[in-house]
Structure 1
Amino acid sequence: MTMPRLLSGQSVVVDGPTAVALPTLTPLLVVRALGFSNQRPLRVRVQIATTVDFAAGSLAVDSSFSTSDTTIAVQITRALPSEATVYWRASVQGALGATAESPITGPRTVPTWLTLIAPKPNSGGIFDIRRPLFVWQSARITPAAGPWTYSIEITNGGRPEQAAAGLRDTTFRAATNLQAETPYFWNVRATLPNGDFVRLASSASFSIVDPLLPTTTILYQNFPNPFPSATTFNTCFWFDLGQPGGTVSLDVLDLRGNVVRTIVPGLDGVTQFPAGRYGRGAPGAGSNCDSRFVWDGTASDGRTVAPGVYVARFRSGSGTPTFRRMLFKGR
């Protein structure tokens, strides 16, 4: 901590938020100049930096102004860097040349500008409605710097499916029905009037479950593929069984046709499944994968297999098997 530099009894104190985590992106600082009673005007300088040495490249705020007041409220009007660690200080110079500098205050942590809330950005989820509600939040900011405006985009396979711009609220209900059994991602851009912005995208997909029973039997492409991904070690298998259901087997094969791992039957030994949809997580569970129908890249003996291309083989009853290629990236 740097102590004030005192000349002829002058000193400077800066009052600001005391908690380590700042409550806002634009804090209010109050500078008090002590011992300058006969020196007007006062030249005040306020600095906020991301390093304690206040190096030129680290300055987020560097403001100077003249005043006749000895207690000056300084409202920061530009959002501090998201999630940065910051320090602040002030100096005052009187009309007769006397100068004093405040102690350095910090570290303080700036809130994140934008947070995605629902669907959960890192684990996705399952919804049983076709128009789910999207929810996000932004850190507090002074009206002099705001308000926030938002745009949202819902994507499927990297292509925009729905989008909206100019939003002031932090919720958005899908305007039209989303497709069932489709992995969706979403992203939000938050923008300030001065043009500063931040954009966040979900790293995990969410999907819609159609409550009606399926009319056909199908094995969907596993996901993520390739795997592992940044958010999971496993790849997930979804399949539908049309009426009346049937006997199911699901195996992972190498390219020579050898069985590497059996997914169905699993530890419970179940092979008979009624008509329905399988592999999805339960609505509200925070995951769009049922842990019974995943592969983690290990063989039946528990050893991790070599990176490469593998094949999922799915069969229902005496029907023709379905195959899906997948790429295991290794660990």
Structure 2
Amino acid sequence: MTGLPRGKGRGAILRRWLLAGLAPSALEAQAVFVDGPTTQPLPSITPALQVRAVGLGPGPIQYTVQIATVADYSALVLDSTFTATDTALTVQVTRPLPSEATVYWRVLARGALGAQATSVNSGARVVPPWLTLVSPNSPAGNAFDIRRPLFVWRSARVTPAAGSWRYDLEVLGAGRPELGVTSLRDTTYRPATDLQANTSYRWNVRASLGNGESVRVASVGSFVITDPPLPTTTLLYQNFPNPFPSAASFVTCFWFVVGAPGARVALDVLDLRGNLVKNIVPGSDGVSRFDAGRYGRGAAGSASNCDNRFVWDGTGTDGRTVAPGVYLARFRADGGAPTFRRIVFRGR
């Protein structure tokens, strides 16, 4: 890699260097070095390489960057030549390297007066997968008791020069498309409509870049939506957050389950003397009879764990904020014995 070629070629280069006023001692120091990421796998599918040329003479230098999938460079995936006056520069790869391939890189450099050098082979580097499905993606299959499960995937880092990722998601039931959404930017998606219970599904995502490069990955296993069994008892859970307000919520949330179809439910907030502070159920909608099921949970896909029909904001029936202190939630169903839960209101 160092030194000038022997024979007539060496003499011609030597004469050009001498005419350029360079000292003969500089003629034995031609070299080009290239440094890139050393982590395995690479942190990006479009890595940046640091190139440094030594002793290639005055004037512009021609650089050829080569990346191959074999160590003898007989299978090139990148072969790009450009000219620069700098002897130290960053070369940003903008064409994504093949997903999960083993690659090698080197730089060939030629000075304006004919001196040339080739960098040392980088050694094997592994390209990360362009796209990985995270959940649901168990080989043994996944089961959900909600009709709108959250789909999660991740994609490899890429330089902005290659464009940004866009995703198309497809859900298949019995081999037929059941759900499709295109041009997603995020790497999570929760369906806007319910999937069918007791049905086996598979899903896939296509990730595309602005330059037209794309990859599609399918789940390794299936998932199924199951109908959770209806509750057999009627009860009120402890409200949360408690105490409240908290850093995450200005209200406290009530969850309860109803075991008897058509049960008449009442949920009130009392002070410690037993005086009514606020009616939660029935609320403004007047509903007091409930089918067997679970209540108080936020809707699938929402950012909250609470159904806003079953919360208390620390106000009384007159709309005024009550004094800080301890209060009681009283829950009754079909005139049975009441259940009480302790509420701590911090005030506002």
TM-score computed with the length of structure 1 as normaliser: 0.61
Which consecutive segments of 4 or more residues in structure 1 shift more than 3 A?
none
Q: Which residues in structure 2 correspond to 1:35-184 (within 5 Å)?
A: 35-36=55-56, 38-55=57-74, 58-184=75-201
Specify whether residues 22 and 118 from structure 1 end up closer, same or farther in structure 2 by C-alpha distance, changes over 3 A only: same
Q: Is the 8 A contact 1:82 1:112 kept in 2?
A: yes
C-alpha distance in structure 1 between counterparts of 2:47 and 2:80, whole Å: 14
State the Cα deviation string for residues 280-323 of structure 1 (Å, max 9, x = none).
xxxxxxxxxxxxxxxxxxxxxxxxxxxxxxxxxxxxxxxxxxxx
Query: Alpha-carbon deviation of 1:121?
Result: 4.7
The one-letter code of the counterpart of 2:212 is G
Q: 2:225 aligns with which of 182, 191, 208?
A: 208
The one-letter code of the counterpart of 2:98 is P
Query: Alpha-carbon deviation of 1:119?
Result: 0.6
Specify whether residues 191 and 18 from structure 1 end up closer, same or farther in structure 2 by C-alpha distance, changes over 3 A only: same
Query: Alpha-carbon deviation of 1:212?
Result: 3.8
The answer for unaligned runs of 5 or more in structure 2 is: 5-26, 232-348
Report which of the two structures shows the higher radius of gyration computed on alpha carbons: 2
Q: Which residues in structure 2 correspond to 1:214-293 (within 5 Å)?
A: none
Specify whether residues 77 and 118 from structure 1 end up closer, same or farther in structure 2 by C-alpha distance, changes over 3 A only: same
Which structure has more relative contact order (CA 8 Å, sep 6+)? It is 1
C-alpha distance in structure 1 between counterparts of 2:44 and 2:130, whole Å: 10
2:295 aligns with none
Query: Alpha-carbon deviation of 1:124?
Result: 2.1
SS in 2 for 1:144: helix
The one-letter code of the counterpart of 1:48 is I
User: What is the aligned-residue identity percentage?
Assistant: 57
Q: Is the 8 A contact 1:43 1:67 kept in 2?
A: yes
Query: Alpha-carbon deviation of 1:5?
Result: 4.3
State the Cα deviation string for residues 240-263 of structure 1 (Å, max 9, x = none).
xxxxxxxxxxxxxxxxxxxxxxxx
Moved more, 61-70 or 38-47: 38-47
C-alpha distance in structure 1 between counterparts of 2:204 and 2:138, whole Å: 9
What's the Cα RMSD here?
1.4
Moved more, 82-91 or 14-23: 14-23
By percentage of residues, which structure has more helix?
A: 2
Q: Is residue 2:3 matched to residue 1:6?
A: yes
Q: Is the 8 A contact 1:5 1:102 kept in 2?
A: no
SS in 2 for 1:105: coil
SS in 1 for 2:45: coil
Query: Alpha-carbon deviation of 1:211?
Result: 1.6
The one-letter code of the counterpart of 1:21 is P
TM-score computed with the length of structure 2 as normaliser: 0.58
